[in-house]
Structure 1
């Protein structure tokens, strides 16, 4: 821990030096520069102090989220600025080397002075993430989007043609701080009037108590004609804090599983159930969390016992790496998988229908939206809540509405 904080200090100091160089190029007032240094020092000390006080027996708190928000707000723009000025320094050193060893002009300094317009451009670029992060922490984190997706299946039972599913994921109730916004989001869920609602895990950050203040509002989610079902996410196991005993951890896990029932969701634990409509039925399969780099409690074979390849199946599995590594290749043919987990990193650029980018795509092949392989689909929900960084930039909180449609079979 001490080594990591020391390394962070060194990195932040280097960033601060570059940022101050840009400011000094543009501003000549000593008082303004002095106040900038004082404020920067105070924020630097606050961040390091807060990080040093992180209590692993408690986990994420409002304080740690505020610290992460300030850390990103202060230093992400400065990183952009520092990288821009580093590019200028490389040019300056290269130019000085050419002059010193080749041109040999004694009238020119080895290292040319910084150019004002370069610092101006750098400051302008740094303003973009600064303003974006402020937006993300004030508006973006509750800027709910209803995303509708129609998916066609040639083997969909006739009675389910047009069947609608609302999906929510990654609630992370311990991060909420605005009851009015959550109430609005629940009303959006109810407005969709879907046939069924599915919740693909992470009801809390760590502790079952986080959800208690929000039980009443989540119980406003109306009954759906074909049920309300859920699975566990990686955070629901309480793996990211140090518990006083295994018994305390297990007690918390039991309480978290009960939470789903307390908001009237049927929790599927490596099992399946049939959804019947008319003379037709589809299998709804739910597995515990299975992630490439996270807890692997999911047992797909157990959950799909006695199901046939020909059965139409919808699988709820929290982590999309499960689909990427196992589900899409499984011989029982899971037509549709619903996941979450990635949050789209809560930061990225998205122009619906045209372009989407996030750092999440360098970790997960399927990280937001719909993906397909050989007629097997996965939809990755961008998440209802937020975690670690108390905001969302570009990748907004999502309520998904999926409509199942019957496709014509190819001759």
Structure 2
């Protein structure tokens, strides 16, 4: 209860300070102030209704719109809050100085300066437009990221072998078939030897994938398509009417994987073969720190030669630090997803790479190397809850393996 009250007080301060900015910047335009409060009240009523009817198993499009409206409303106001609160601190110190010096007559606090409010409102449009872009365009702004990795012990027959990794499809969030088909076409244009999908086909229920089966069936790879499960695929966030209903959902998800042409690896391995050589592909079920731990790496890697070249698909990157990098068998490359890069961040190659995801996951996006073992964390193909991406775009990863 105390947390809720503190949150409500914080929200009130955000709106109060934002109103002060509008009041100072537009002293004569009362209609602007009325529009501000009408919009704010509408947003909070809409969000309150959304949270009162929210269940984690129901991440519908309407819930996504509610989240996007809340973000669009609050983030720009936080920019305004920073300016206005900073100005208030300066006003207090100015008032104290003039009072002590005996130069203050009338009100203790100096009036707010109009240009500060105007600057705050102008700068707040930057995140507003960025978020709006992320909702309308960014969530389907697919980009292809290429990596070339060299290994001493890669079989010569696999020199130049290419992998396209996709992750976190979250089919229950899609709302634009044409743009999705563009993403599928872009994957096929990479013409990789294999396609590896590292989990979270759905948000919660297998039925979410039904409208998109024909679209994803178009994925092509000459040496196969392989997949694993992510934490959202198990239906653990849904209140099922019975154990049988949950099992039926799981079985339907397995069937859909087959319909899509994916070989689902559940704590098992498979050999990818070329004439005269092979590499081992390992797939574990979800294993995440703080999430479901269904994965069994020992079982998945059972009976593999210590000398073979190994690629592991494991949905959650925390698995790498907790088990994979110190595993008894040397795993050359681990492919993960899960984080989405929080669908929000700043990435300028060579200068900055930051997302709130970094506060939870030390390895949250891109390529990492530790103890001679590589981890790649895909930023995700789809989106979840917030129906947009700001600065962290949906990713198609192409990895080329080379022999040193």
Fold match by TM threshold 0.5:
yes
Contact 2:95-2:104 at 8 Å conserved across structures = no
1:6-405 to 2 correspondences below 5 Å: 7-28=6-27, 29-56=29-56, 58-100=57-99, 102-107=100-105, 109-222=107-220, 224-405=221-402
Residue 161 (structure 1) shift: 0.7
Contact 2:315 / 2:335 at 8 angstroms: preserved in 1?
yes
> Could you report, residue by residue, the CA deviation over 1:167-209 in whole angstroms, capped at 9, with x for unpaired residues?
1100000000001011111111111111111000000000100
In 2: Cα distance, 1:386 partner to 1:4 partner: 28
Q: Residues 314 and 336 of structure 2 are in contact (CA less than 8 Å); yes or no, is this contact kept in structure 1?
A: yes
1:36 is displaced (CA, Å) by 2.2
Cα distance between partner residues in 1 of 2:284 and 2:401: 21
Q: Is this contact kept in 2: 1:99–1:108, CA < 8 A?
A: no
The Cα shift of 1:328 comes to 1.0
Residues 240, 3 of structure 1: alpha-carbon distance in 2 compared, 3 angstrom cutoff: farther
What's the CA shift for 1:382? 0.6
Return 5+ residue gaps in structure 2 as ranges.
none
Are the counterparts in 2 of residues 370 and 377 from structure 1 also a CA contact under 8 Å? yes
Deviates more, 1:2-11 or 1:32-41: 2-11
Q: Distance in 2 between matches of 1:345 and 1:72?
A: 13
On the 8 A contact 1:5/1:48 being kept in 2, the answer is no
Change (3 A) 1:212 1:129: same
CA deviations 1:143-187 (Å, max 9, x no partner) are: 110111111111111111110001110000000000101111111
Q: Is the 8 A contact 2:22 2:32 kept in 1?
A: no
Calculate the TM-score normalised by the size of structure 1: 0.94
CA change 1:184–1:373 in 2 (3 A) is same
Deviation at 1:352, TM superposition (A): 3.2
1:324–1:365 CA contact under 8 A, matched in 2: no
RMSD value, Cα: 1.6
- TM-score scaled to structure 2, two decimals? 0.96
C-alpha distance 51-3 of structure 1, shift in aligned 2 (>3 A): farther
